Amino acid sequence: MWNQLKTVILLGLLTGLMLAAGYFIGGNYGLTIALAIAVIMNFGSYFYSDKIVLRMYKAKPAIKSEYPQLHKIVSEVSKNAGILKPKVYIVPTENANAFATGRNPQNAVVACTQGILKILNEQELKGVIAHEIAHVKNRDILVATIAATIAAVISYLAMMARFAAIFGGMRDDRGGNGLSLLFLAILTPIIAVIIQLAISRSREYLADSTGAEFTKEPKALASALKKLEQANKNNHIKFGNTATSSLFITNPFSAQGLVSLFSTHPAMDSRIKRLNEMKI
């Protein structure tokens, strides 16, 4: 319940930041432009991001005769979750990972890497699949799309403000000047990213707990996460884009040097601790 409420609050803050930036930069006209950009980008991201992501990671449909156990697990967990069975894809990489995509439960996809199928036992894999199906059930793809789109609009507005401040083509009619615009241009994108990543971490916690409820075995997912963290320390995905790292159950790219504030995922120790303490 807290993670759901936290998401609503953070999305509200992100939206407010976008509207405030649009108004500060261009008044009512800037506000209208910000809203229009957000609507257009949301529409495109929501309907086409799944196809883009699958192509980006060279994912192919998992043939049922070649991956019978994987299909069996996806079917069982989907039934427990009360949704249609998502399409199942395989990503050709030894990085041990999984992700879900698709604009709604009727058009969902669960993708597993070749690496994850090699290191997890059946119960651990079921825990991971349940986590991904929880993302589908909770409509996290939609939440992530909205957050990413609003953050992108804020970055666009900030870029406009930087040009205005540097070239002196715009002054703040509320008494500010180019320096205040430059301050806005630098600060707002940072705040937007921090809020966006906080939303991502909140949804990961929620998917962990929701997925554990589907399987009734939170310790199986905790065990899987521990194995994935160990396996992926020096085995990162060599293709794709770091902008999509929040989709995966663990960050598939090197996260060295990142503080927790700028991480797409909660600390693994914290996730494992919460799962081990769950009472179902």
3-state secondary structure 31-61: HHHHHHHHHHHHHHHHHHHHHHHHHHCCCEE
Q: What is the mean pLDDT of residues 41-66?
A: 84
For 98, phi and psi rounded to 5 degrees?
Answer: -160, 155
- Strand-pair category, 109-113 with 87-91: parallel
Can you tell me the distance from the alpha carbon of 91 to that of 182, in angstroms, rounded to the nearest whole number?
A: 43
Name the token pair of 167.
């070239």
What is residue 235's predicted lDDT score, i.e. its pLDDT? Answer: 85
pLDDT tens string 254-271: 655 445 556 888 999 999
Specify the long-range contacts of residues 271-276, CB closer than 8 Å, at least 24 apart: 271/204, 271/205, 271/208, 271/222, 271/225, 272/222, 272/225, 272/226, 274/205, 274/208, 274/209, 275/208, 275/209, 275/212, 275/218, 275/219, 275/221, 275/222, 275/225, 276/218, 276/219, 276/222
What is residue 179's predicted lDDT score, i.e. its pLDDT? Answer: 60
Whether 100 has a pLDDT exceeding 90, the answer reads yes
Name the token pair of 232.
């992926």
* Active-site annotation, residues: 132
Torsion angle, alpha carbons of 204, 66, 64, 247, to 10: 20
pLDDT tens string 2-41: 444 555 565 566 666 666 666 565 555 655 666 676 667 6
Q: What is the mean pLDDT of residues 188-204?
A: 82
Can you tell me the distance from the alpha carbon of 161 to that of 157, in angstroms, rounded to the nearest whole number?
A: 6
Sequence spans of domains, the chain: 2-55+139-276
CA atoms within 13 A on the CB side of 121: 7
What is residue 50's predicted lDDT score, i.e. its pLDDT? Answer: 81
Q: What is the mean pLDDT of residues 95-106?
A: 92
Task: Provide the whole-model pTM.
Answer: 0.78
